[in-house]
Structure 1
Amino acid sequence: MAEFLQSSEAPINAEVCEYQQFPKPEIEDAATEKNPKPKLKHLSVVLLSFGLLCVLQGILNISLRLALREPTDKGEEERCPQGWQMFGSSCYYISSQRRSWDGSRQDCVQRGADLVIVNSRQEQAFLTGFTRAAWVGMTDRAEEGTWIWVDGTPVNRDRLHWARGQPDDAYGGEDCGDLRTMIDFIGLNDFNCSARVQWICEQMLG
Protein backbone atom coordinates (compact mmCIF):
# COMPACT_ATOMS: atom_id res chain seq x y z
CA MET A 1 0.00 0.00 0.00
CA ALA A 2 2.81 2.39 0.95
CA GLU A 3 4.64 1.29 -2.17
CA PHE A 4 1.57 2.03 -4.29
CA LEU A 5 1.31 5.52 -2.96
CA GLN A 6 5.00 6.29 -3.51
CA SER A 7 5.01 5.00 -7.07
CA SER A 8 2.11 7.12 -8.11
CA GLU A 9 3.27 9.06 -11.14
CA ALA A 10 0.45 11.64 -11.14
CA PRO A 11 1.87 14.80 -9.69
CA ILE A 12 -0.28 16.72 -7.31
CA ASN A 13 -0.17 20.43 -8.02
CA ALA A 14 -1.41 22.78 -5.37
CA GLU A 15 -2.00 26.47 -6.15
CA VAL A 16 -1.89 28.91 -3.38
CA CYS A 17 -4.36 31.78 -3.95
CA GLU A 18 -3.84 35.06 -2.25
CA TYR A 19 -6.86 36.56 -0.54
CA GLN A 20 -8.07 39.64 -2.36
CA GLN A 21 -10.44 42.03 -0.71
CA PHE A 22 -13.10 43.33 -3.08
CA PRO A 23 -14.35 46.87 -2.60
CA LYS A 24 -17.51 47.35 -0.68
CA PRO A 25 -20.60 48.59 -2.47
CA GLU A 26 -20.34 52.29 -3.11
CA ILE A 27 -22.61 53.27 -0.28
CA GLU A 28 -20.33 56.12 0.76
CA ASP A 29 -20.26 57.51 -2.81
CA ALA A 30 -24.02 57.50 -2.95
CA ALA A 31 -24.17 59.26 0.37
CA THR A 32 -21.68 61.85 -0.88
CA GLU A 33 -23.83 62.53 -3.94
CA LYS A 34 -26.87 63.08 -1.76
CA ASN A 35 -24.93 65.29 0.61
CA PRO A 36 -22.42 67.46 -1.34
CA LYS A 37 -19.29 68.57 0.40
CA PRO A 38 -19.76 71.63 2.64
CA LYS A 39 -17.38 73.70 0.48
CA LEU A 40 -19.54 73.20 -2.60
CA LYS A 41 -22.64 74.13 -0.61
CA HIS A 42 -21.03 77.36 0.57
CA LEU A 43 -19.94 78.23 -2.98
CA SER A 44 -23.47 77.74 -4.29
CA VAL A 45 -24.89 79.96 -1.56
CA VAL A 46 -22.35 82.70 -2.31
CA LEU A 47 -23.05 82.62 -6.07
CA LEU A 48 -26.80 82.67 -5.48
CA SER A 49 -26.50 85.59 -3.06
CA PHE A 50 -24.34 87.53 -5.55
CA GLY A 51 -26.89 87.00 -8.30
CA LEU A 52 -29.73 88.20 -6.08
CA LEU A 53 -27.74 91.31 -5.12
CA CYS A 54 -27.20 92.16 -8.81
CA VAL A 55 -30.94 91.83 -9.49
CA LEU A 56 -31.82 93.96 -6.46
CA GLN A 57 -29.34 96.65 -7.50
CA GLY A 58 -30.89 96.84 -10.96
CA ILE A 59 -34.38 97.14 -9.46
CA LEU A 60 -33.16 99.84 -7.06
CA ASN A 61 -31.62 101.91 -9.87
CA ILE A 62 -34.83 101.76 -11.91
CA SER A 63 -36.96 102.59 -8.85
CA LEU A 64 -34.74 105.55 -8.01
CA ARG A 65 -35.08 107.03 -11.48
CA LEU A 66 -38.85 106.58 -11.37
CA ALA A 67 -39.03 108.15 -7.91
CA LEU A 68 -36.96 111.16 -8.96
CA ARG A 69 -38.98 111.70 -12.09
CA GLU A 70 -41.61 114.31 -11.35
CA PRO A 71 -45.15 113.41 -12.41
CA THR A 72 -46.23 114.73 -15.80
CA ASP A 73 -49.17 114.02 -18.06
CA LYS A 74 -48.93 111.82 -21.13
CA GLY A 75 -49.18 114.79 -23.48
CA GLU A 76 -45.94 116.31 -22.21
CA GLU A 77 -44.09 112.99 -22.52
CA GLU A 78 -45.03 112.79 -26.19
CA ARG A 79 -43.58 116.24 -26.82
CA CYS A 80 -40.00 115.18 -26.03
CA PRO A 81 -38.02 114.32 -29.17
CA GLN A 82 -37.29 110.67 -29.73
CA GLY A 83 -34.25 109.50 -27.79
CA TRP A 84 -34.47 112.32 -25.24
CA GLN A 85 -35.05 111.83 -21.50
CA MET A 86 -37.75 113.74 -19.64
CA PHE A 87 -37.71 115.18 -16.12
CA GLY A 88 -40.16 117.77 -14.86
CA SER A 89 -40.82 120.30 -17.62
CA SER A 90 -37.64 119.63 -19.60
CA CYS A 91 -36.31 117.15 -22.14
CA TYR A 92 -32.67 116.06 -22.01
CA TYR A 93 -30.36 114.76 -24.70
CA ILE A 94 -27.32 112.77 -23.50
CA SER A 95 -24.73 112.57 -26.28
CA SER A 96 -22.78 109.48 -27.21
CA GLN A 97 -20.02 111.51 -28.90
CA ARG A 98 -17.32 113.67 -27.29
CA ARG A 99 -16.60 117.32 -28.05
CA SER A 100 -15.19 120.44 -26.44
CA TRP A 101 -17.49 122.60 -24.33
CA ASP A 102 -18.04 125.06 -27.19
CA GLY A 103 -18.56 122.28 -29.73
CA SER A 104 -21.04 120.62 -27.39
CA ARG A 105 -23.01 123.82 -26.94
CA GLN A 106 -23.10 124.34 -30.71
CA ASP A 107 -24.62 120.86 -31.11
CA CYS A 108 -27.29 121.64 -28.52
CA VAL A 109 -28.22 124.90 -30.26
CA GLN A 110 -28.56 123.06 -33.56
CA ARG A 111 -31.03 120.75 -31.80
CA GLY A 112 -33.14 123.72 -30.64
CA ALA A 113 -31.77 123.46 -27.10
CA ASP A 114 -28.73 124.50 -25.03
CA LEU A 115 -26.35 122.91 -22.57
CA VAL A 116 -28.28 121.89 -19.46
CA ILE A 117 -28.88 124.33 -16.62
CA VAL A 118 -29.11 122.44 -13.33
CA ASN A 119 -31.59 124.17 -11.05
CA SER A 120 -31.89 121.74 -8.13
CA ARG A 121 -30.31 118.73 -6.46
CA GLN A 122 -33.29 116.66 -7.63
CA GLU A 123 -32.56 117.53 -11.25
CA GLN A 124 -28.85 116.88 -10.69
CA ALA A 125 -29.62 113.48 -9.16
CA PHE A 126 -31.73 112.58 -12.21
CA LEU A 127 -28.89 113.51 -14.60
CA THR A 128 -26.20 111.74 -12.57
CA GLY A 129 -25.18 108.32 -13.86
CA PHE A 130 -25.92 108.60 -17.58
CA THR A 131 -22.20 109.06 -18.32
CA ARG A 132 -18.91 109.24 -16.44
CA ALA A 133 -18.50 112.89 -17.47
CA ALA A 134 -20.73 115.28 -19.41
CA TRP A 135 -20.58 119.01 -20.13
CA VAL A 136 -23.23 121.19 -18.50
CA GLY A 137 -24.05 124.81 -19.30
CA MET A 138 -21.88 126.71 -16.81
CA THR A 139 -18.59 128.59 -17.11
CA ASP A 140 -16.43 131.10 -15.22
CA ARG A 141 -14.60 132.42 -18.28
CA ALA A 142 -15.74 136.02 -17.69
CA GLU A 143 -14.45 136.14 -14.11
CA GLU A 144 -12.49 133.37 -12.40
CA GLY A 145 -14.50 131.82 -9.60
CA THR A 146 -17.81 133.40 -10.65
CA TRP A 147 -19.82 130.63 -12.31
CA ILE A 148 -22.56 131.63 -14.74
CA TRP A 149 -25.12 129.50 -16.55
CA VAL A 150 -25.55 129.82 -20.32
CA ASP A 151 -28.70 131.90 -19.78
CA GLY A 152 -26.71 134.49 -17.78
CA THR A 153 -27.94 133.52 -14.31
CA PRO A 154 -25.39 132.86 -11.53
CA VAL A 155 -24.74 129.30 -10.34
CA ASN A 156 -26.06 128.85 -6.82
CA ARG A 157 -23.35 126.61 -5.38
CA ASP A 158 -25.26 126.00 -2.15
CA ARG A 159 -28.19 124.39 -4.00
CA LEU A 160 -26.05 121.92 -5.96
CA HIS A 161 -23.57 119.17 -5.20
CA TRP A 162 -19.96 119.60 -6.31
CA ALA A 163 -17.44 116.76 -6.50
CA ARG A 164 -14.96 116.59 -3.65
CA GLY A 165 -12.54 119.54 -3.71
CA GLN A 166 -14.14 121.23 -6.72
CA PRO A 167 -13.96 123.70 -8.36
CA ASP A 168 -10.17 123.90 -8.11
CA ASP A 169 -9.10 125.57 -11.40
CA ALA A 170 -6.38 122.94 -11.78
CA TYR A 171 -3.87 122.40 -14.61
CA GLY A 172 -3.51 126.04 -15.51
CA GLY A 173 -7.18 126.83 -15.96
CA GLU A 174 -10.50 124.98 -15.89
CA ASP A 175 -13.27 127.36 -16.90
CA CYS A 176 -16.09 125.05 -18.00
CA GLY A 177 -18.33 122.80 -15.94
CA ASP A 178 -19.15 119.15 -16.30
CA LEU A 179 -21.06 116.56 -14.27
CA ARG A 180 -19.04 113.59 -13.04
CA THR A 181 -20.18 110.13 -12.00
CA MET A 182 -17.05 108.29 -10.89
CA ILE A 183 -16.06 106.26 -7.84
CA ASP A 184 -15.50 108.71 -4.97
CA PHE A 185 -15.87 111.62 -7.39
CA ILE A 186 -19.52 112.45 -8.02
CA GLY A 187 -20.92 115.92 -8.68
CA LEU A 188 -20.20 119.11 -10.57
CA ASN A 189 -16.60 119.73 -11.61
CA ASP A 190 -14.57 122.40 -13.41
CA PHE A 191 -12.63 121.17 -16.42
CA ASN A 192 -10.56 122.40 -19.32
CA CYS A 193 -12.98 123.78 -21.93
CA SER A 194 -11.06 122.23 -24.82
CA ALA A 195 -11.25 118.70 -23.41
CA ARG A 196 -13.47 116.33 -25.35
CA VAL A 197 -16.22 114.71 -23.27
CA GLN A 198 -19.90 113.91 -23.70
CA TRP A 199 -22.56 116.53 -23.04
CA ILE A 200 -26.17 117.05 -21.95
CA CYS A 201 -28.60 119.30 -23.83
CA GLU A 202 -31.80 120.65 -22.26
CA GLN A 203 -34.95 121.69 -24.08
CA MET A 204 -37.74 123.31 -22.10
CA LEU A 205 -41.30 122.15 -22.68
CA GLY A 206 -44.14 124.55 -23.29
Structure 2
Amino acid sequence: MAVFFHSNEAPIGEYQNFPKPELENAATEKNPKPKLKHLSVVLLSFGLLCVLQGILNISLRLALSQPTDKGETEEETCPQGWLMFGSSCYYISSQRRSWDGSRQDCVQRDADLVIINSRQEQAFLTGFTMAAWVGMSDREEEGTWIWVDGTPVNRDRLNWARGQPDDSLGGEDCGDLRTMIDFIGLNDYNCSARAQWICEQTLR
Protein backbone atom coordinates (compact mmCIF):
# COMPACT_ATOMS: atom_id res chain seq x y z
CA MET A 1 0.00 0.00 0.00
CA ALA A 2 1.44 3.34 -1.08
CA VAL A 3 1.48 6.16 1.38
CA PHE A 4 1.69 9.78 0.22
CA PHE A 5 2.85 12.56 2.43
CA HIS A 6 1.76 16.13 1.74
CA SER A 7 4.31 18.74 2.40
CA ASN A 8 3.92 22.48 2.54
CA GLU A 9 7.34 22.94 1.13
CA ALA A 10 7.69 23.68 -2.55
CA PRO A 11 9.21 20.97 -4.67
CA ILE A 12 12.91 21.23 -5.18
CA GLY A 13 13.78 23.36 -8.17
CA GLU A 14 10.49 25.29 -8.17
CA TYR A 15 9.70 28.72 -6.79
CA GLN A 16 6.61 29.44 -4.93
CA ASN A 17 5.32 33.02 -4.88
CA PHE A 18 3.80 34.17 -1.70
CA PRO A 19 1.47 37.19 -1.76
CA LYS A 20 2.86 40.26 -0.14
CA PRO A 21 -0.14 41.96 1.43
CA GLU A 22 1.62 45.24 2.00
CA LEU A 23 2.72 45.63 -1.63
CA GLU A 24 -0.66 44.60 -3.06
CA ASN A 25 -2.55 47.00 -0.84
CA ALA A 26 -0.17 49.81 -1.79
CA ALA A 27 -0.70 49.09 -5.50
CA THR A 28 -4.48 49.09 -5.21
CA GLU A 29 -4.42 52.31 -3.24
CA LYS A 30 -2.11 54.17 -5.62
CA ASN A 31 -3.97 53.35 -8.88
CA PRO A 32 -7.37 54.98 -8.11
CA LYS A 33 -5.89 58.24 -6.86
CA PRO A 34 -4.71 59.61 -10.27
CA LYS A 35 -8.08 58.70 -11.81
CA LEU A 36 -9.98 60.41 -9.04
CA LYS A 37 -7.80 63.50 -9.31
CA HIS A 38 -8.29 63.64 -13.08
CA LEU A 39 -12.06 63.26 -12.71
CA SER A 40 -12.25 65.94 -10.05
CA VAL A 41 -10.30 68.38 -12.27
CA VAL A 42 -12.70 67.75 -15.16
CA LEU A 43 -15.75 68.23 -12.95
CA LEU A 44 -14.32 71.39 -11.42
CA SER A 45 -13.55 72.82 -14.87
CA PHE A 46 -17.04 71.98 -16.09
CA GLY A 47 -18.55 73.64 -13.03
CA LEU A 48 -16.52 76.80 -13.59
CA LEU A 49 -17.61 76.90 -17.24
CA CYS A 50 -21.25 76.63 -16.19
CA VAL A 51 -20.83 79.48 -13.71
CA LEU A 52 -19.13 81.66 -16.33
CA GLN A 53 -21.86 80.87 -18.85
CA GLY A 54 -24.50 81.89 -16.32
CA ILE A 55 -22.70 85.16 -15.58
CA LEU A 56 -22.41 85.94 -19.29
CA ASN A 57 -26.11 85.22 -19.87
CA ILE A 58 -27.14 87.48 -16.99
CA SER A 59 -24.80 90.25 -18.16
CA LEU A 60 -26.17 90.03 -21.71
CA ARG A 61 -29.77 90.20 -20.51
CA LEU A 62 -29.00 93.22 -18.35
CA ALA A 63 -27.21 94.94 -21.23
CA LEU A 64 -30.12 94.36 -23.61
CA SER A 65 -32.64 95.59 -21.07
CA GLN A 66 -30.84 98.88 -20.51
CA PRO A 67 -32.57 101.91 -22.10
CA THR A 68 -30.98 103.26 -25.26
CA ASP A 69 -30.09 106.89 -25.86
CA LYS A 70 -33.68 107.54 -26.92
CA GLY A 71 -35.01 106.15 -23.66
CA GLU A 72 -36.38 103.05 -25.36
CA THR A 73 -36.61 99.88 -23.36
CA GLU A 74 -37.25 97.50 -26.23
CA GLU A 75 -36.84 97.34 -29.96
CA GLU A 76 -39.71 99.03 -31.73
CA THR A 77 -41.61 97.11 -34.36
CA CYS A 78 -44.38 97.90 -36.82
CA PRO A 79 -48.00 96.84 -36.32
CA GLN A 80 -48.94 93.51 -37.82
CA GLY A 81 -49.44 93.77 -41.57
CA TRP A 82 -47.31 96.93 -41.90
CA LEU A 83 -43.95 97.21 -43.65
CA MET A 84 -40.85 98.78 -42.15
CA PHE A 85 -38.35 100.99 -43.93
CA GLY A 86 -35.92 103.17 -42.02
CA SER A 87 -37.74 104.62 -39.02
CA SER A 88 -41.24 104.35 -40.50
CA CYS A 89 -43.99 101.77 -40.88
CA TYR A 90 -46.16 101.62 -44.01
CA TYR A 91 -49.63 100.28 -44.58
CA ILE A 92 -50.60 99.42 -48.18
CA SER A 93 -54.36 99.35 -48.49
CA SER A 94 -56.24 96.74 -50.49
CA GLN A 95 -59.38 98.89 -50.81
CA ARG A 96 -60.00 101.96 -52.97
CA ARG A 97 -61.13 105.35 -51.73
CA SER A 98 -60.87 109.04 -52.61
CA TRP A 99 -57.82 110.99 -51.43
CA ASP A 100 -59.75 112.42 -48.47
CA GLY A 101 -61.29 109.05 -47.59
CA SER A 102 -57.84 107.47 -47.75
CA ARG A 103 -56.37 110.05 -45.44
CA GLN A 104 -59.23 109.57 -42.99
CA ASP A 105 -58.46 105.84 -42.87
CA CYS A 106 -54.79 106.57 -42.13
CA VAL A 107 -55.69 108.95 -39.30
CA GLN A 108 -57.89 106.26 -37.77
CA ARG A 109 -54.82 104.00 -37.80
CA ASP A 110 -52.83 106.62 -35.85
CA ALA A 111 -50.95 107.52 -39.06
CA ASP A 112 -51.30 109.75 -42.14
CA LEU A 113 -50.84 109.46 -45.87
CA VAL A 114 -47.20 108.79 -46.63
CA ILE A 115 -44.68 111.62 -46.93
CA ILE A 116 -41.87 110.60 -49.28
CA ASN A 117 -38.57 112.20 -48.30
CA SER A 118 -36.09 110.53 -50.64
CA ARG A 119 -35.67 108.56 -53.84
CA GLN A 120 -34.72 105.53 -51.70
CA GLU A 121 -38.00 105.67 -49.82
CA GLN A 122 -39.90 106.14 -53.09
CA ALA A 123 -38.12 103.15 -54.63
CA PHE A 124 -39.09 101.03 -51.62
CA LEU A 125 -42.78 101.97 -51.99
CA THR A 126 -42.88 101.54 -55.76
CA GLY A 127 -44.41 98.37 -57.13
CA PHE A 128 -46.89 97.37 -54.43
CA THR A 129 -49.85 98.74 -56.44
CA MET A 130 -50.46 100.24 -59.87
CA ALA A 131 -51.63 103.49 -58.23
CA ALA A 132 -51.75 104.58 -54.58
CA TRP A 133 -52.54 107.88 -52.93
CA VAL A 134 -49.68 109.65 -51.15
CA GLY A 135 -49.81 112.60 -48.77
CA MET A 136 -49.35 115.57 -51.13
CA SER A 137 -51.66 118.02 -52.87
CA ASP A 138 -51.67 121.44 -54.54
CA ARG A 139 -55.21 122.38 -53.54
CA GLU A 140 -54.26 125.66 -51.91
CA GLU A 141 -52.20 126.93 -54.82
CA GLU A 142 -51.99 125.30 -58.22
CA GLY A 143 -48.50 124.00 -58.90
CA THR A 144 -47.33 124.36 -55.30
CA TRP A 145 -47.25 120.86 -53.88
CA ILE A 146 -47.48 120.50 -50.11
CA TRP A 147 -47.19 117.39 -47.94
CA VAL A 148 -49.85 116.66 -45.32
CA ASP A 149 -47.51 117.91 -42.57
CA GLY A 150 -47.32 121.34 -44.27
CA THR A 151 -43.81 121.00 -45.72
CA PRO A 152 -43.25 121.73 -49.44
CA VAL A 153 -42.59 118.87 -51.86
CA ASN A 154 -39.03 118.98 -53.14
CA ARG A 155 -39.61 117.93 -56.73
CA ASP A 156 -35.91 117.62 -57.47
CA ARG A 157 -35.44 114.93 -54.81
CA LEU A 158 -38.21 112.67 -56.13
CA ASN A 159 -39.08 110.86 -59.34
CA TRP A 160 -42.18 111.98 -61.22
CA ALA A 161 -43.83 109.99 -63.97
CA ARG A 162 -43.11 111.23 -67.47
CA GLY A 163 -44.75 114.63 -68.11
CA GLN A 164 -46.14 114.97 -64.58
CA PRO A 165 -47.61 116.87 -62.89
CA ASP A 166 -49.74 118.17 -65.74
CA ASP A 167 -53.07 119.09 -64.06
CA SER A 168 -54.92 117.26 -66.79
CA LEU A 169 -58.40 118.70 -67.41
CA GLY A 170 -57.70 121.26 -64.69
CA GLY A 171 -58.75 119.08 -61.76
CA GLU A 172 -55.77 117.00 -60.61
CA ASP A 173 -54.85 118.37 -57.23
CA CYS A 174 -53.85 115.24 -55.31
CA GLY A 175 -50.77 113.07 -55.65
CA ASP A 176 -50.42 109.35 -56.16
CA LEU A 177 -47.59 106.93 -56.84
CA ARG A 178 -47.84 105.03 -60.11
CA THR A 179 -46.25 101.74 -61.16
CA MET A 180 -47.38 101.13 -64.73
CA ILE A 181 -45.63 100.22 -67.94
CA ASP A 182 -43.81 103.34 -69.19
CA PHE A 183 -45.48 105.37 -66.44
CA ILE A 184 -43.64 105.03 -63.14
CA GLY A 185 -43.35 107.73 -60.48
CA LEU A 186 -45.34 110.44 -58.78
CA ASN A 187 -48.42 111.73 -60.55
CA ASP A 188 -51.18 114.28 -60.01
CA TYR A 189 -54.71 112.93 -60.13
CA ASN A 190 -58.30 113.90 -59.43
CA CYS A 191 -58.82 113.88 -55.65
CA SER A 192 -62.27 112.31 -55.91
CA ALA A 193 -61.02 109.30 -57.91
CA ARG A 194 -60.94 106.01 -56.04
CA ALA A 195 -57.56 104.40 -55.57
CA GLN A 196 -55.53 102.45 -53.06
CA TRP A 197 -53.39 104.39 -50.60
CA ILE A 198 -50.27 104.21 -48.44
CA CYS A 199 -50.28 105.20 -44.76
CA GLU A 200 -47.10 106.05 -42.87
CA GLN A 201 -46.53 105.82 -39.15
CA THR A 202 -43.26 107.05 -37.65
CA LEU A 203 -41.66 104.84 -35.03
CA ARG A 204 -41.50 106.60 -31.66
TM-score tier by shorter-chain length is 0.5 to 0.7
Q: Which amino acid aligns with 1:187?
A: G
What residue in structure 2 maps to residue 91 of structure 1? Answer: 89
What residue in structure 2 maps to residue 166 of structure 1? Answer: 164
Which among 121, 134, 142 is matched to residue 123 of structure 1?
121
What residue in structure 1 maps to residue 149 of structure 2? Answer: 151
Gaps of 5+ in 2: 1-73
1:173 deviates by 1.2
Per-residue CA deviations over 1:118-158 (Å, capped at 9, x if unaligned) read: 00000000000000000000000000000000000000000
Tell me how far apart the structure 1 counterparts of residues 112 and 162 of structure 2 sit (CA, whole Å): 27
Tell me how far apart the structure 2 counterparts of residues 186 and 175 of structure 1 sit (CA, whole Å): 18
Tell me how far apart the structure 2 counterparts of residues 129 and 75 of structure 1 sit (CA, whole Å): 28
What residue in structure 2 maps to residue 102 of structure 1? Answer: 100
Q: Which amino acid aligns with 2:124?
A: F
Tell me how far apart the structure 2 counterparts of residues 88 and 199 of structure 1 sit (CA, whole Å): 20
Alignment of 1:40-119 (within 5 A): 75-76=75-76, 79-119=77-117
What residue in structure 2 maps to residue 185 of structure 1? Answer: 183
What residue in structure 2 maps to residue 48 of structure 1? Answer: none
For the aligned residues, what is the CA RMSD? 0.9
Q: TM-score, normalised by structure 2?
A: 0.63
Moved over 2 A (4+): none
Tell me how far apart the structure 1 counterparts of residues 78 and 105 of structure 2 sit (CA, whole Å): 17
Aligned residues: 131
CA radius of gyration, larger in: 2
Q: TM-score, normalised by structure 1?
A: 0.63
Gaps of 5+ in 1: 1-73
Tell me how far apart the structure 1 counterparts of residues 127 and 101 of structure 2 sit (CA, whole Å): 22
